[in-house]
Copies of this chain bind each other. A is one copy, B any other.
Amino acid sequence: MARAVDDYALLVALVSEQRQVSRADLARLAGLSRSTVSLRVDEILKTGLIRESGNGPSTGGRKPVVLTINPEVGVVLGVDLGATHCHVAAADLAGDTLAIHSGAVDIGEGPVAVLNEVLRHCAGVLEACGRTTSDVLAVGVGIPGPVEFSTGTVVRPPIMPGWDDFVVSEYIGRLFDAPVVVDNDVNVMALGEYVERGQRDTSLLFIKIGTGIGCGIVSYGELHRGLDGAAGDIGHTRLPDHDDTVCACGNTGCLEAVASGAAIARQLRAEGRDVQLTSDVVRLAQSGDRDVMYRVRRAGEHIGSVLATLVNFYNPETIIIGGSLAALNDDLLAPIRGVVYQRATTLATRRFRLEITTLGWQAGVLGAVELARRAALSPDAVGRRLVPAQTEI
């Protein structure tokens, strides 16, 4: 039940959350005495992570000195790696983006070639904001496959040939004297949406609907990864009446085999249409193609039936729909909402929100920045910057 908490990391995190805060407010927020907070803050100031500025709102007397995160101390890097793209951002410790570079990659070229390209973009964004690798406080990476989070290792990825067992965090970490944190792309996008919405949602599900279907879960600000990091794998939920549809996993009737972009393209090809990619599905639906629109609506209904189950089970505050099919906006959202509101309980849908992403492709790279920002403000990272002799009073 109880969890050991490091005062220093707590104080730095509170300064980051509040943007600007006086020592008195910090003591109140942290539940610590003012004298303890003063001692701790003096030490943290020496690390350069936070700084003083004199522009706090006056409450009658002289203006109080406020504390803010020090954007000068260094930067964090966020990497969003997809099957065919990579986006890399540099941001300050408050999470404000300083530079973003994007480029094409081919995930099939294997980890060394692809990650060297990622590192080239890292160098690019650092140069763009006048920084060097030694200024990097942490790196966050999202990749399109399963990751053992604790070690940053790729685990049996379905679409990443040559990556199995590759330790991404180690390869990237050789260039930086800083923690490198790696997670799967859907988790990272969920975190990006959570940050974008002001970090207020008690729980948020991010549903990625593209060539596949996956889900990221944020609960009280933390990613829920589950016992084996397998949480969010909703693509293999069994749908009614589809036992004739074989899925790549070996089962039949899986949501992903019936309602993903790849599944819709396959259904259209079976009708003699020349539709190869998820992007073709999106383009045709946007052009108003009736057959394609019909398939998208059916897919939305199937997705809605699975989401209704999750709404009943988890009673989330917010569900955000993203991924490449999210470009269809209301044409995808309406059938999903229709089934969710029909099948989920009244109580669970009374206040909850079901929306299309407004971040689009940026969700991944902003989530990766947040992963990195959290790593840079973790108790371990803050502790390493403190002068050792001063951590005990």
The residues of A with any CB-CB pair to B shorter than 8 Å are 1-7, 10, 13-14, 16-17, 29-36, 146, 155, 199, 202-203, 215, 217, 219, 221, 224-234, 236-241, 249, 251, 305-306, 308-310, 312-317, 342-345, 347-348, 350-352, 374, 379, 392-393
Q: When A1-B374, A221-B1, A238-B305 are in contact, do A227 and B313 touch as well, CB less than 8 Å? A: no
7 closest pairs, A vs B, by CB?
Answer: A226-B315, A240-B240, A2-B13, A231-B315, A230-B348, A230-B315, A4-B31
Decide: A345 and B233 in contact? CB cutoff 8 A. Answer: yes
Q: When A240-B240, A312-B233, A345-B249 are in contact, do A10 and B2 touch as well, CB less than 8 Å? A: yes
Decide: A229 and B4 in contact? CB cutoff 8 A. Answer: no
Decide: B230 and A312 in contact? CB cutoff 8 A. Answer: yes
In the bound assembly, the distance between CA atoms of A392 and B251 in angstroms comes to 62
Q: Which residues of B contact A16 (CB under 8 A)?
A: 1
Taking CB as reference atom, which chain B residue is nearest A231? B315
Q: When A314-B224, A348-B226 are in contact, do A4 and B33 touch as well, CB less than 8 Å? A: no
Q: When A36-B36, A343-B238 are in contact, do A4 and B17 touch as well, CB less than 8 Å? A: no
In the bound assembly, the distance between CA atoms of A14 and B5 in angstroms comes to 12
Q: When A13-B2, A33-B393, A306-B309 are in contact, do A227 and B203 touch as well, CB less than 8 Å? A: yes
In the bound assembly, the distance between CA atoms of A251 and B316 in angstroms comes to 21
Q: Among the interface residues A1, A7, A33, A348, which one has the most CB atoms of the partner chain B within 10 A? A: A1
Number of identical monomers bound together in the oligomeric complex: 2
In the bound assembly, the distance between CA atoms of A326 and B326 in angstroms comes to 43
Q: Among the interface residues A16, A251, A345, A350, which one has the most CB atoms of the partner chain B within 10 A? A: A345
Q: Which residues of B contact A374 (CB under 8 A)?
A: 1
Decide: A32 and B7 in contact? CB cutoff 8 A. Answer: yes
Decide: A146 and B347 in contact? CB cutoff 8 A. Answer: yes
Decide: A316 and B226 in contact? CB cutoff 8 A. Answer: yes
Taking CB as reference atom, which chain B residue is nearest A377? B1
Decide: B234 and A313 in contact? CB cutoff 8 A. Answer: yes
In the bound assembly, the distance between CA atoms of A351 and B10 in angstroms comes to 33
Q: When A2-B10, A203-B226, A392-B33 are in contact, do A237 and B350 touch as well, CB less than 8 Å? A: no
In the bound assembly, the distance between CA atoms of A351 and B215 in angstroms comes to 21
Taking CB as reference atom, which chain B residue is nearest A234? B313
Q: Which residues of B contact A305 (CB under 8 A)?
A: 238
Q: When A230-B345, A230-B347, A351-B228 are in contact, do A31 and B379 touch as well, CB less than 8 Å? A: yes
In the bound assembly, the distance between CA atoms of A308 and B251 in angstroms comes to 13
In the bound assembly, the distance between CA atoms of A6 and B306 in angstroms comes to 41
Q: Which residues of B contact A351 (CB under 8 A)?
A: 227-228
Taking CB as reference atom, which chain B residue is nearest A249? B345
Known contacts A203-B224, A230-B345; 11 further A-B pairs (Cβ under 8 A): A1-B16, A1-B221, A7-B32, A33-B393, A219-B224, A225-B315, A227-B348, A233-B348, A237-B309, A237-B313, A239-B240
The distance from the CB of A252 to the nearest CB of chain B, in whole angstroms, is 10
Can you offer 11 A-B residue contacts whose CB atoms are under 8 A? A1-B221, A1-B374, A2-B10, A2-B29, A219-B219, A226-B314, A227-B316, A227-B352, A237-B308, A238-B343, A249-B345
